[in-house]
Structures are given as structure tokens and as C-alpha cells.
Structure 1
């Protein structure tokens, strides 16, 4: 599963060329931020789960 501040990989890469996104807000909608250019996207939870490929780095491993 995924949690706040996790780094995730999406099925399609961002136009800037990166495919790493950080989860910065969770609720009914999920807000993610591109780790390359800083672009922020908000998706519904259902859409996010459909488009997410895998969790690259869990938030606890940063500590």
C-alpha cells in the first residue's frame, strides 16, 4: 500500500521525463508532486490507484 510522503512510480512518465512522484496530500483525492520539475497533480483516489505502478520508496526509509 502507499502512504503520505512515499515516492511512487506511475504507469506513464511525466512530460519532463521523470517517473518519480511524491505523495504530498491524501484524502478523497491524492495530490502528487513530480520529483524532477515540481509539478503538482491532484487525482481522485480511484484514478490514482489505477495509474500507479508501484511504490519506489516508503516514507519511513527516509529517517
Structure 2
């Protein structure tokens, strides 16, 4: 199983029509909302479809939480 969290930038099997192929995860739940890094369009897809079409995790955000 592939690991992903809120804020991760991922690559999907299919690119966006704008030409971008990088997506940022902006909401997680039963459905996952992803935003195209290139044009800013937001798409919501089911978790099962997201996991099936996820190619790889490109970047992980740095945690800047103060304890």
C-alpha cells in the first residue's frame, strides 16, 4: 500500500488536460480532493480510485509545528 498524507504532492497515472502531472492533496476522507499544481484546478475522486491511479509521491511537506 502506498503512503500519502495531507499536503503531499503526488503524480497520477493520467495527467491533467492543462499539461500538468503534479497534484497536491488538499483534503482526505472517503473522497480525496487534489489540486493541480500547474493550473490550480481542484478535483475530487474516491479514495479507491485515487489509490489505484496513484503513480508515486513526489514531495513531502516539512512539518513546521512547534511543540
Pairwise TM-score range, normalised by the shorter structure: over 0.9
Extract unaligned runs of 5+ from structure 1.
Answer: none
Equivalent residue for 2:15, pick from 10, 13, 16: 13
Q: Deviations over 1:12-63 (max 9, x none)?
A: 11100010000000011100000000110001100000111000001227x5
SS of equivalent to 1:47:
helix
Relative to its length, the structure with more strand (as a share) is: 1
Higher CA-based Rg: 2
TM-score, scaled to structure 2: 0.87
Runs of 4+ in structure 1 off by over 2 angstroms are none
Instruction: Confirm or deny: 8 A CA contact 1:6 1:22 kept in the other structure.
Output: yes
Greater relative contact order (CA < 8 Å, ≥ 6 in sequence): 1
CA RMSD, aligned part only? 1.2
Relative to its length, the structure with more helix (as a share) is: 1
Extract unaligned runs of 5+ from structure 2.
Answer: none
TM-score, scaled to structure 1: 0.92
